[in-house]
Amino acid sequence: MDIVANELSKVYKIPKRKAGIMNGLKSMVHREYEEIVALNKVSFEIGKGELVGYIGPNGAGKSTSIKILSGILTPDSGECKVLDKIPYKDRINYVKNIGVVFGQRTQLWWDLPVIDSFELLKDIYKIRFGDYVKMKKELIKWLNLESFINTPVRQLSLGQKMRCELAASLLHSPSILFLDEPTIGLDAISKLAVREFIKKLNKERGVTVILTTHDMDDIETLCDRVIVIGKGEILSDGSLKSLRNRVSNERRLILDFEQGKNTFSIEGATLVREEKNRLIIDFNPDIITPANLITALSTKYKIKDILIENPPIEEVIAQLYEELKI
């Protein structure tokens, strides 16, 4: 096992201040604290070479977990071992083996060309010259950085910068990569490039990847396994398929028709939306098979086209959050 988290808990104490001058003065003498439970006995194990999505709504404890796993934060109780080391106890020795990308932060030197930041990281991580040259060349090729590697970071677009951030955190060939919202704010093309790269890294290099994100396409295209966290607790851990089944096993049928009646009543199927000459229907295959559904529909509509798909993961997650009231 690459990562073993055992009942990790973390509580933040946040000073409370009510509005108004009187309360402001009061808080100078007596401070009240509010306790916020960021993590409550979180346990999981992640094996070598896995690509795991770690998702949850804002404030669920995703970043806190990543910070503990990368050695930045010490948990209040519980223990975790990553690559047989306790991250926050042996930070300096431990971080050599991991790469971290925080999507909302930057590790590149703002005023300097990208390549200068790379050179500095080479010295910081004591990467052997030969290894560095090889890895740099590969990352430049994979992430397509050639055209802006000599440009100062401040002049790069968000997408270009994120690709450089990814490269920067991989120069020292870590065996685990933590990605905290790596696609945040990126346009569609950059997102695709980043996803493609993460996939390749995982498949070809066997790098273990833990990915937090709000972008369900990231999860859908990348992750075999999804851990859902909410209010500091693990709510679900398993494959994407089992997550779907857990919420509902409904599937979705999209029907384009030329003409037909506008009444809809079929047992086991519900109309989600009706657009011009298009019906979007969710149905439960245990009650009505797709074949029967289509037969039933064809008596009422002149069908032009039919598409059956799984409900989008966003909706599954939204439903899950709602069910669990997080």
Q: Closest distance between another protein and the C-beta of residue 96, in Å?
A: 4
Q: At residue 153, what are phi and psi to the nearest 5 degrees?
A: -55, -35
Give the x-and-dash track for 59-78 against another protein (CB under 8 A): ---xx---x--xxxxx----
CA distance readout (Å), 24 to 13, 35, 36, 126: 18, 20, 21, 50
Number of helices (H) and strands (E), helices first, in the chain? 11, 13
CB atoms within 10 A of CB 142: 18
Closest distance between another protein and the C-beta of residue 174, in Å? 10
136 binds another protein per the rule CB under 8 A: no
Total interface residues for another protein by CB under 8 A: 34
**DSSP symbol at 232:** T
CB of 259 to another protein, least distance (A): 50
Asked if 215 touches another protein (CB under 8 A), the answer is: no
Instruction: Give the x/- contact pattern for another protein in 90-129, rule: CB under 8 A.
Output: -xxx-xx-x-x-x-xxxx-x-xx---x--xx--xxxx---
What are the distances in angstroms from CA 229 to CA 38, 47, 49, 72, 221?
Answer: 11, 19, 22, 20, 20
Which residues, 5 to 34, sit near another protein by CB under 8 A?
12
* Pairwise CA distance, residues 210 & 17, whole Å: 36
Provide the residue type at 145 as one letter: L
- For position 307 contacting another protein by CB under 8 A, the verdict is no
Chain residues binding another protein by CB under 8 A are 12, 58, 62-63, 67, 70-74, 91-93, 95-96, 98, 100, 102, 104-107, 109, 111-112, 116, 119-120, 123-126, 180-181
